[in-house]
Amino acid sequence: MNFTKKEKQFFRSLLFKHQDGIAITNIITTLELKKIIAFIGDKKETTHREIINAFPEFHKGYLNVALRSLASQGIFSYHADMNQIRICCTSKFEKLKQYLYYYIEFAEAYQLHLRLLQTPFHKELILDEKLLNLSEKLKELQAIHLNDPYFQDEVLVHLEGVLVIPLLVYLNFNATAKGFDSMEIISSHKKLQLFLENASFLKDNKLTKKGQFLFDKSYAYGVTTSYLPILSNIASFLDGNFKPFFERDSHGNEQHVFRTINVWGSGGSHETYFRKIDTIVIAIFNQPIEQQPKGIIDVGCGNGALLEHIFNLIWHGTHRREDLDQNKLILIGADYNKEALLSTQQNLKKADVWAEVVWGDIGNPKEMDAKLQELYNVKLSDLLNIRSFLDHNRPFNIPLEKSRPSHFLSTGAFATKGKFLHNSDVEQSLVEHLKKWKPYVTTYGLLLIELHTLNPNTVSANIGKTPCTAYDVTHGLSDQYIVEIEVFKEAVERAGLTIDNNHYYKFPNSELSTVSINLIS
């Protein structure tokens, strides 16, 4: 099925707005039921501190994440400085109030989908009757509010995202894993057909253009959907007991995220970034041998896929292959998760790639260096350090030095175990984290892919053009620390490191950049 440029642009905008809906529908529901929306509406202008004083039972940090997410959708204005966070109602807030009930009604889909994702997959999929009923309501609401652009362009798409997308991910994730076409299930499932028809994904048992585009891009929803255990339980994160979500179950599995779906979604979405990584690795290993590192260490190696890819890249795409007999290429996978190290060993052995593994904590490079010297007689500083989307997911360490005013105070919302973190402390903690790595990356560098946030004002002015709201919610509620590109670059500079401008990229290459690639030394 061919798509025009205009169609691709429209469907891509739907994709981003669907993720917005998954991220904020239960936040809106919870804030409304807990009377916070009414409180802010009465005040018109307030502060984060004033809201907490009125609702002391809420976890200060996670409430800040929730409020900022609605600011990113233009429902509030949000301004953070060194002293306070100011929140004001907007004209969109007034529009939203007339549709609050719909968000509350469709929030029921979270728990229905959560149960589905927790259920072992069977081709004889049983669709909950409540989901079908909600799809009928979705179709009805589309007709009722046909002449309201705000409802059609945003509210309706949010509700559609919550209702349809987790099921879409469930189908296509399992289809990918088990090697079948998801249409095999749909074509023999009348209720599922009707459900998708009500959302305009299907017509006459065939995917519409909308359905085809979003089915093909379903992996792009994977990361957001993988956090459904959190998104389904916003009330617990704001004023209840969130700790059980971060404990592992009796089988050792994480409970706050569906990790396999997360990896599937990440893998599909990250190909563009890894292609840029390829050009940098080829340039490094095509230098004269005396200028090359002894090898590569992938910190946060996961299942070893990146190491396997890089080995094949060097073997097939660089001159280093010709010199491997005299100068062995050292490949090392490091991870905090011992299961990941075992997976890396097994996968690389199957792929006939020589590599070693080491347990490593991203927050303690000194210990990692000592282990490398002890086990493999190689220094951490002798290697090209690579990691992808990991630094923002490090455990938070309270800064040892007092934070100081910076040129770019982050507009992010940060928490650790529900506790509020000041933005300047988050940046100072990042500076001190990078300083720990400085002795080990100044010679051959740290090749790093990182995720970033955007100012809520920028996001709200570009609805449907960025997944930023969804990532801010999922990462903010799981104690991760994504900062703006400018804040990250300043932290690198304050750590006494530099970014090689010849090997610096951002995606997209505009004011909406949420991913960067950096060669730091």
pLDDT tens sequence across 159-188: 999 999 999 999 999 998 888 888 888 988
CA distance 467 to 69: 12
CA distance 314 to 389: 22
| Structural tokens at position 408 | 């770019």
In three-state form (DSSP H/G/I as H, E/B as E, the rest C), the secondary structure along 371-426 is HHHHHHCCCHHHEEEEEECCHHHCCCCCCCCCCCCCCCCCCCCEEECCEEECHHHH
Can you tell me the mean pLDDT for 491-497? 96
Reply yes or no on whether the pLDDT at 1 is more than 90.
Answer: no
Reply yes or no on whether the pLDDT at 151 is more than 90.
Answer: yes
470 to each of 21, 92, 124, 454, how far by Cα in Å? 8, 19, 31, 12
Q: List the end-to-end C-alpha distance of the chain, in Å, as a whole number.
A: 46
Length of the chain measured in residues = 521
pLDDT tens sequence across 22-66: 999 999 999 999 999 999 999 999 999 999 999 999 999 999 999
Q: What does residue 260 show for φ and ψ, rounded to 5 degrees?
A: -65, -35
Q: Is-contact 306 362, C-beta < 8 A?
A: no
| Structural tokens at position 349 | 């052995």
Predicted local confidence at residue 126, as pLDDT: 87
Give the position of tokens 């709201």: 469
Residue 122, C-beta contacts closer than 8 angstroms, at least 6 positions apart: none
Residue 292, Cβ density class (10 Å: 0-12 exposed, 13-18 middle, ≥19 buried) = buried
Predicted local confidence at residue 176, as pLDDT: 86
Residue type, 121: F
pTM tops 0.85, yes or no = yes
In three-state form (DSSP H/G/I as H, E/B as E, the rest C), the secondary structure along 173-242 is HHHHHHCCCCHHHHCCCHHHHHHHHHCCCEECCEECHHHHHHHHCHHHHHHHHHCHHHHCCHHHHHHCCC
pLDDT tens sequence across 222-236: 999 999 999 999 999
Predicted local confidence at residue 405, as pLDDT: 62
386 to each of 13, 280, 329, 455, how far by Cα in Å? 32, 11, 15, 28
Residue 418, C-beta contacts closer than 8 angstroms, at least 6 positions apart: 59, 60, 61, 62, 237, 242
Predicted local confidence at residue 369, as pLDDT: 96
Predicted local confidence at residue 67, as pLDDT: 98
pLDDT tens sequence across 439-488: 999 999 999 999 999 999 999 999 999 999 999 999 999 999 999 999 99
pLDDT tens sequence across 257-298: 998 898 888 877 777 888 888 999 999 999 999 899 999 999
